[in-house]
Amino acid sequence: MAITDKQKKLLVLVADGEFHSGEELAEALGLSRSAIWKQLSGLAELGLHYTGVSGRGYRLERRLELLNHAKISAALNDFSRASHVLFEIHDQLDSTNSYLVQKSLHGAASGSACFAEHQTAGKGRRGRDWVSPFGGNIYLSILWRFPHNGLGEIAGLSLAIGVAVIRALKHLQIPDIGLKWPNDVCYQGKKLGGILIEVSGEAAGPCAAVIGVGLNVFLSGSEAEKINQPWTDLSKILGQRKISRNTLAACLLNELIPVLIDFEQSGIKTYLEEWRQYDVLKGNAARLFVGNQVIDGIVQGIDDNGLLLLEHLGGRIQSYASGEVSFNNAAV
C-alpha cells in the first residue's frame, strides 16, 4: 500500500508518539474527524499502529523518527561534504537498489544515493524479500561508477562495504558487531543487517555497482514473523539507549564514501585484515550452499582475494567465490 500525501502529513504530526486530539488533527489537515480516523486506519496497514483513547485522542504505539534531509546533511563530516554526496529520501520505493539501477541506466552520477522510509519489494540475497516496515530501519543504496575497473577488479567490494558498516556502528559505540561472509552484519549470531551489490558493465571495464545496505533499527514482533532466520535490531542491542536514524544514516555515508573512493584505487587488499577481525565464521563447522550443491566443512577465513576458505574432510582447503553459509544449525 502506498502512503498518500494526507497520510504523510498526518504521520508528521503524530510521529512524536504523544496524544493528539481528533479535533486538533482535523483542523491541522483540513479534514473531518471521521476522515482522520480513516487516514489513521490506513497508516495501520503500513504497520504504523495507533491507540485511540476517549478524551485524549490518538497516538502512535511508538515514537517515529522520520528521515530528514537537513538533519542528515548536518551530521555529514567534512570529507563527505567535500565529496558532494547527493542523496534523496523517499517515503516509499519498491527497493532502493532497483531505483538506483534504473537511474544508473539514465546517466545518474557516481555517488548518487537514496534512502527510503519503506520498501514494498526490498531485496535480500538469492531473490529473497527484505522485510522493510515503514520508518523502522535503514534502507540505503549508493550508485558507484568504476570507469577504470572491470567486473573482476571489483570482486570483494561487499567485504569492503562490510568494513565501512562496522566502522559506522563502532562510531556510534554499538558493541560486538561481526561480519559473516560474504555480506551479512551480525550480533551474537543473529542477523542485524545485510549488503546487496548489483553490478553491471564489462569484464575489462568500465563498470558500475549499486550498493544496498539494510540495517534493522526497530522491528516489531508481527514484522519479525516474516523472517526465517535468527535476527536482531539496534533497539534490542541498545536497550534504553536510543539511536537516531538520521545520525546513523549520516554515519553510514561518512564511512561508505571514503571506502568506495579508496576501493576504486586499491581494491580489497586494504580491507582484508580489518574484515578478518570481525569474521564470525572462522573456525566454525559450516554448510555452504552453492547452487544445488551442499558442502560441509570448517571455515578457515578468507584468502587474499576475499574468497571463502573451507576445509573439507581430510584437510583439503578450497576457496569459494560465492555461496550462502549456515553454521551452528542456524541460517544466520
Write out the three cell numbers for 52. 485511540
Does the annotation list 173 as a binding residue?
no
**Do 137 and 218 touch, CB atoms closer than 8 A?**
yes
Sign of CA dihedral 20, 23, 27, 31: positive
Does the annotation list 137 as a binding residue?
no
d(CA 167, CA 163): 6
d(CA 290, CA 305): 18
**Do 68 and 246 touch, CB atoms closer than 8 A?**
yes
Does the annotation list 326 as a binding residue?
no
Does the annotation list 328 as a binding residue?
no
Does the annotation list 96 as a binding residue?
yes
The string over 208-225, giving b where at least 16 C-beta atoms fall within 10 Å of a residue's C-beta and e elsewhere, is: bbbbbbbbbbbbeeebee
Residue 280 makes CB contacts below 8 A (sequence gap 6+) with: 178, 179, 180, 186, 189
> Residues within the annotated binding site?
95-97, 119, 191
> Residues within the annotated binding site for biotin?
95-97, 119, 191
